[in-house]
Chain A
Amino acid sequence: MDAQELIARRVAREIRPGTLVNLGIGLPTHVAAYLPPGMDVYLQAENGIIGLGARPPEGMEDPDLTDAGGGFVTAIPGAARIDSTLSFGLIRGGHLDMTVLGGLQVDALGRLANWMVPGKLIPGMGGAMDLVTGARRVVVAMFHTAKGAPKIVPRLELPLTSTRRVDLIVTEMAVIEPTDAGLVLREIAPGVDVDAVMRATAARLIVSAPVGQMLATV
């Protein structure tokens, strides 16, 4: 299992039946592939659909039905089309149960930076600021390091996405929960030890209760 699949499989376990969930562009998009078949969950794409389905077979794409990354999708039975104002009303208004977003950095306070690297990479925030501010639960799905440099840092060097503390960080090495006391190491990936996670993390990690194994029952 590669790093991306490990992260996506673990994040999929956070998703509860009967909820509305927004999966961000990039790595988080892959989470959908690992939801239990037939699970009663509605995926929102902020460009305008509740009830996002899988990619259609080749030749059956609808140019008017895409996800927020512009990729072709389908709509599940029970889906609803929404315009941009309703879409973000749902997000800001507390109607979105969970969002999964990629990250450039997360700091010791559990705050996320994911929309620009000043002077270099300026994609813009898109819907990220609204999602982090408004979703009931925010899960960050990202690689633990970038070119060897830790992405979980004591203090953000990059511009903040929201002052709100995220609820969970899932990487290919660990599952970390930001709390009032700090970043708590909850789980480590198969074949990874606690020391390795510590070395790859610049922020202080709290290791108290027994650390679980990611995807232990798989």
Chain B
Amino acid sequence: MKTAIPVEEAARRIPDGASLMIGGFMGVGAPHRLIDALVARGCRNLTVIGNDTALPGIGVGKLIASGQVARVITSHIGLNPETQKKMLAGEIEVELVPQGTLAERIRAAGHGLGGVLVRTGIGTLAAEGKQTVEIEGQTWLLEPPLRADFALIHANQADYAGNLAYQLTATNFNPVMAMAAGTVICEAREILPIGMIPPDGVGTPGVLVDCLVGVAAA
């Protein structure tokens, strides 16, 4: 059984300097209430790993604006000019990773793999300083696994066993991130009695989820 905790309490578990995987794609499928609670708590020097930095005032964009993020590992910052500005001013360190490689690096960490071999990025800036491997006459880029202290994820539904069900494009990086962090905190739109999510509908098994955030008061 997993008891839902208030979102403020979940945020208090995250110390300064923590690395966070945050689910979502341009803010869609992001744990918005957890992000708001982190902004309110004001923890600093965070490393954020996620597909993008959303837009100013939305999702991860709020953490960027509040100056709480020291480092971002992401594929795209194009729709958040604040990230670009802070990056060019040297206020935030940004590591840009091709989107598919980002997903696979996270997957490698979560699935117990020592890295992944990809063709994406060969001959580009994304390959700088990286090892290449020859397999059957083909050159591959060795990409290391990527893990985090916390994964902050969103689901459409959770049950009190911690099982999660995702919906449409709000799925994105959430399931893979649930595999790759020391502590997995999920903010679900609704929390259901155990058994309400059929086994075939479970996107992330509850054993992977450390804590559920209580649903917003109506």
Does A163 reach chain B (CB closer than 8 Å)? yes
Could you say which of A81, A84, A88, A128 has the most chain B C-beta atoms within 10 Å of its C-beta? Answer: A84
Q: Is the CB of A91 within 8 A of B100?
A: yes
Cβ–Cβ < 8 Å partners of B196 in chain A: none
Q: Is the CB of B25 within 8 A of A48?
A: yes
Q: Is the CB of A47 within 8 A of B28?
A: yes
Asked, given contacts A83-B175, A88-B103, whether A64 binds B28 with beta carbons under 8 Å apart, the answer is yes
- Interface positions, chain A 119-135, Cβ under 8 Å from B, are 119, 121-130, 133-134
Give the docked Cα–Cα distance between A119 and B84 (Å).
10
Q: Mark B138-169, 1 if CB is under 8 A from A, else 0.
A: 00000000000000000010000000001111
Give the docked Cα–Cα distance between A66 and B88 (Å).
30
Give the contacting residue for A48; candidates B100, B101, B169; CB below 8 A. Answer: B169
- Interface positions, chain B 52-91, Cβ under 8 Å from A, are 52, 55, 74-79, 84, 87-88
The smallest beta-carbon distance between A167 and chain B, in angstroms, is 17
Cβ–Cβ < 8 Å partners of A119 in chain B: 88
Cβ–Cβ < 8 Å partners of B118 in chain A: 92
The smallest beta-carbon distance between A65 and chain B, in angstroms, is 5
Does A172 reach chain B (CB closer than 8 Å)? no
Give the docked Cα–Cα distance between A121 and B26 (Å).
18
Q: Is the CB of A129 within 8 A of B123?
A: no
The smallest beta-carbon distance between B162 and chain A, in angstroms, is 18
Does A32 reach chain B (CB closer than 8 Å)? no
The smallest beta-carbon distance between A71 and chain B, in angstroms, is 9
Q: Is the CB of A130 within 8 A of B175?
A: no
Give the docked Cα–Cα distance between A75 and B104 (Å).
26
- Interface positions, chain B 159-218, Cβ under 8 Å from A, are 166-176, 203
Cβ–Cβ < 8 Å partners of A91 in chain B: 100
Interface residues of B, dominant DSSP: mixed
Give the contacting residue for B169; candidates A65, A92, A133; CB below 8 A. Answer: A65
Q: Is the CB of A129 within 8 A of B87?
A: no
Name which of A1-9, A154-162, A190-198 contacts chain B: A154-162
The smallest beta-carbon distance between B157 and chain A, in angstroms, is 12
Q: Is the CB of A162 within 8 A of B123?
A: yes
Cβ–Cβ < 8 Å partners of A58 in chain B: none
Give the contacting residue for A70; candidates B28, B87, B125, B171; CB below 8 A. Answer: B28
Q: Is the CB of B77 within 8 A of A70?
A: no
Does A37 reach chain B (CB closer than 8 Å)? no
Give the contacting residue for A85; candidates B26, B122, B176, B203; CB below 8 A. Answer: B176
In the complex, what residue of chain B is closest to A130 when comparing beta carbons?
B100
Q: Is the CB of A123 within 8 A of B77?
A: yes
Q: Mark A47-80, 1 if CB is under 8 A from B, else 0.
A: 1110000000000001111111110000100000
Does A187 reach chain B (CB closer than 8 Å)? no
Q: Is the CB of A81 within 8 A of B75?
A: no
CB-defined A-B contacts under 8 Å, sample of 6: A64-B29, A66-B28, A92-B100, A125-B75, A127-B75, A162-B122
Point out residues on A near B: beta carbons under 8 Å: 45-49, 62-70, 75, 81-85, 87-89, 91-92, 119, 121-130, 133-134, 159-163
18 additional A-B residue pairs with CB within 8 Å, beyond A127-B100, A129-B100, A134-B119: A47-B28, A47-B172, A49-B169, A64-B169, A66-B28, A68-B25, A69-B26, A70-B26, A70-B55, A82-B171, A83-B173, A124-B52, A124-B76, A125-B96, A128-B98, A130-B120, A134-B120, A162-B124
Point out residues on B near A: beta carbons under 8 Å: 25-29, 51-52, 55, 74-79, 84, 87-88, 94, 96, 98-101, 103-104, 107, 118-126, 156, 166-176, 203
Enumerate the 5 nearest inter-chain pairs by beta-carbon distance, A residue then B residue, closest first. A123-B78, A88-B100, A70-B26, A130-B100, A163-B123
